[in-house]
Amino acid sequence: MRVGKPGGVAVRRLRARAQATTIPPVSQLPHGYTNRTRRREGGIEKRYEGAEPFARAEREFTCLTHLIGRYPVPEVIEFDASGPALLLTVVAGRHGQESLAEGHAPRTLRLIGRQLAILQAINPSTIPHLEGEGDVIVHGDFGPQNIICSLDLSSVAAVLDWESAHLGSPAEDLAWTEWIVRMHHPEAVDDLSELFDGSGLSVSWLERQSAMVKQCRDYVAFCEASGWESAAAEWSRRLGTTERWHE
């Protein structure tokens, strides 16, 4: 995968600064489940672990540098192609999952649905070299776990983690947001209508569940390819649970 050229000079400057960095010992940030995400001087560092880390890092770099100014994403400060790692700006706000846990599910889910609609309205050619078949940009891990809301829940400050982005169906990101709610925030299931209304999408339960099952299977395969046996077993368990769900 080739990295696109947003502004040419900006990318050359990023690549000129890209170098391995010695990181002082710091704590893993919350909500970083697959990769090592740490706060360091100057920003948030994300180091990629698991299968195909370089392809995932370049994909995220490409997405962020082409979406900046068009969609709420953190700005790339440095790209360490050897790590691989990205250093990103810190985005202030309230994490989407924390907002759900604090009892703000209706407002948060409607906000996330609206943000999904905005993403799906962006011309897919905005991000070059995205793989997949479909009519829209698919984030690939969309949902409250990767959303930073404004403190007053009036807007989305940033959508994080673009390493799984691809071209696909409008149902995919909607279904995965629903999956996150059903799996991790069951108390908010009754508020999922806010998500659907905010997105403006009308997708059948069969299509949504099929998308959830496919993504769970993809995570099982990713964990197996990464040599993470316990994680693969956990995702296999989640896959079985997802297959048994009813609307």
Residue 56, pLDDT score: 97
Q: Which residue has the tokens 């489940």?
A: 33
Residue 18, pLDDT score: 36
Could you tell me the residue ranges of all domains in the chain? 9-88, 94-202, 204-247
Same fold across 9-88 and 94-202 = no
Residue 112, pLDDT score: 98
d(CA 53, CA 23) in angstroms, rounded, equals 19
Give the amino acid at 25. Answer: P
Residue 5, pLDDT score: 35
Tens-binned pLDDT, residue by residue, of the chain (247 aa): 323 333 433 333 343 333 333 333 344 445 545 567 898 888 999 999 999 999 999 999 999 999 999 999 999 999 999 899 999 999 999 999 999 999 999 999 999 999 999 999 999 999 999 999 999 999 999 999 999 999 999 999 999 999 999 999 999 999 999 999 999 999 999 999 999 999 999 999 999 999 999 999 999 999 999 999 999 999 999 999 999 999 8
94-202 CATH fold: Aminoglycoside 3'-phosphotransferase; Chain: A, domain 2 (3.90.1200)
9-88 CATH fold: Phosphorylase Kinase; domain 1 (3.30.200)
Q: Is the CB of residue 94 less than 8 Å from the CB of residue 147?
A: no
Q: Which two tokens stand for residue 218?
A: 């993809």
d(CA 56, CA 200) in angstroms, rounded, equals 30
Residue 42, pLDDT score: 84
